[in-house]
Chain A
Amino acid sequence: MNKKLRSFNSPTFLAYALIAPAAIYILLIVAWPVLETIRLSFTNSSLAGEDYVGFENYEKMLSSKKFNKIVTRTFVWMFFSVSLKLLIGLIGAILLNANLRGRSMFRVLIMPPWVVPIAIGMLGWLWLYNGYFGIIAGIGMHTGILEGPYGFLAYKQSAFISTVISDVWVGTPMVTVFFLAAMQGVPKDLYEAAYCDGASRWDRFFKITLPQITPVIITMSILSAIWTFNSFEIIWILTEGGPRGATTTLIIDTYKQALGNYKFGRGAARAVVVMVLLTLFAGFYLALLARINKKISHG
């Protein structure tokens, strides 16, 4: 390669100059707020002003029973939501991968929950869950399962389940689409060889499809855990974290402390906990991604 070409391919200054606008933007709108949140968490910042208070916010937060309950609840909520998304997504992908008429239409029809603004989808769910006029309570009353009107978002346990279901509804299409894409990426000759050897459809799924798409399943479970952990609008619109805190997850609690009670310092301390947990998830995800990429490039 001649000199001119080499300078064409590695002009460090130009490379940085092209990235600079995006990098500066992100530093200002994401990185600086992260640092500011950490700083605020050591103050008693509120509308009245702020003073440095050391670790007080953290001590109060970690010693409060309520906060510990919220952390546990967040993980229980996440566990149900993520496992259902993966399970329903996998079943959905298997169904839509079947070589049947109409499958390309079904593949488009599963997208709306993902594409439509969450707030609009939740308007539909608010109506479905309505205790007097909603269709779910209606079916319950017509079949006699429910004796009278039942507001699904008004009671602790049913509100918890309802928010999980709506969250699964928002998250499932994306999981399905990724699983489907992975299934279609499995080399066809593997199936043909297995078919010639007399493997049943069941065998082919468990011995070929499942192992082949395992990397995508693992990636999606972590990504989906991160998105579920971040889920804010769904719970906020349906229950605002209620009734009596039954659906208050870490994100909801952070928002309530900061913008409901204007306790910026306390809110920031919770935001820092959220960020630490997210960083752990992200680190886990990136390490895994690096391993999968290595396997692909070496294998």
Chain B
Amino acid sequence: MDKYSTIEKIFIYSAIFVFMTFILLPFVEMFYASLRPLDHLFRSPYQFYSDDLSFWAYREMWNTVPLLGRYIFNSFFLASSVAILTLLFVIPAAYSYARFSFPFKNTSLYILLAINMFSGAVLLIPLYKVLRTLGLLNSYQAMIVPGVAFLIPTSIWLLKSYFEKIPVDLEEAAFVDGASRVQILRHIIAPLSTPGLVVVGIYAFIGAYAQQFLFAITFNQKKEFMPIPSGLYEFIGYQSVKWNEMMAASLVGIAPVLILFIFLQKYIVEGLTAGAVKN
């Protein structure tokens, strides 16, 4: 195939540079702001240059936001709980969809897709009532319970396609040889589907991590249960926002998930886009 000429290369790289600037500008600016002293940030018009950059804000933020450690823990705890619960509900369902044929199979699969399109924002009033009836307001569960519901549909679709890749002959052979369904699940399905389970689990984790705002501000008022986003926004309304420390706290809060994602992005992207590009 033909190669790119130098001019074409320069053009493509400059276009990529513009594109990446748009995508990364907020993060770059957040990082830069986190390194600058507060009085440099509060200069108008904007000063592009600061000579005394430091990680001071990364130390000071723990005093300004006393519960920061707790918020970071909460974010992780909430996302992990949601991911594990989602898997528990999704594994049997996805297996059933992948292996068996039964009435209303396709209809219910499409209903799942449709549910995926409803956002939590329109259902807040009745969700509030459900959670109040169950006595779950202002607790971790107030954020976990609705979080799981909105991740189940996509997770079923994703995991179903993984299960479908495991040859059914293996299971049939074991069954004819007298293995019980539980044995088949433990000795054949579980080991073969581990990579799929990991991908779906991570998908649910990242999804849960990203949706930690709406449910958190609506269903939980208790500081000790807040995840990072709603915890930090408690500090944004005030007159003097310590922007450098807010930025530092945000970046520290999202770093673990970003790193996790960078290592696993290939699998997640493959899993998610598989449906879109199957031939």
Residues of A whose CB lies within 8 Å of any CB of B are 2, 4-5, 8-12, 14-16, 18-19, 21-23, 25-26, 28-30, 32-34, 36-37, 40, 88, 91-92, 95-96, 98-100, 106, 108-113, 115-121, 123-128, 132-135, 137-139, 141-142, 149, 169, 172-173, 177-178, 181-182, 184-185, 191-192, 195, 201, 216, 219-220, 226, 230, 232-233, 237, 251, 254-255, 258-259, 264, 267-268, 271, 274-275, 278-279, 281-283, 285-286, 289, 296
- Could you tell me the dominant secondary structure of chain B's interface residues? helix
B117 touches A226 (CB 8 A): yes
Closest to B233 in A: A119
User: What string of 1s and 0s marks CB contacts (under 8 Å) between B190-214 and chain A?
Assistant: 0000000000000000100111111
Q: A112-B27, A169-B22 are in contact. Are A118 and B210 (CB under 8 A)?
A: yes
B130 touches A185 (CB 8 A): no
B7 at interface by CB-CB < 8 Å: no
Closest to B120 in A: A232
B253 touches A271 (CB 8 A): no
A15 touches B2 (CB 8 A): no
Q: Which of B1-28 contact A (CB under 8 A)?
A: 1-2, 4, 9, 12-13, 15-16, 19-20, 22-27
Q: Which of A98, A110, A133, A232 contacts B43 (CB 8 A)?
A: A133
Rounded to whole Å, the gap between the CB of A224 and the closest CB of chain B is 11
User: What string of 1s and 0s marks CB contacts (under 8 Å) between B14-52 and chain A?
Assistant: 011001101111110110010000000111111110000
Chain B residues with Cβ under 8 A from A22's Cβ?
A: 89-90, 92-93, 152, 156
- Could you tell me the dominant secondary structure of chain A's interface residues? helix
B99 at interface by CB-CB < 8 Å: yes
A230 touches B117 (CB 8 A): yes
Most chain B Cβ neighbours within 10 Å, of A15, A37, A232, A233:
A15
Q: A113-B23, A115-B206 are in contact. Are A216 and B13 (CB under 8 A)?
A: no
Most chain B Cβ neighbours within 10 Å, of A26, A100, A177, A219:
A26
B19 touches A91 (CB 8 A): yes
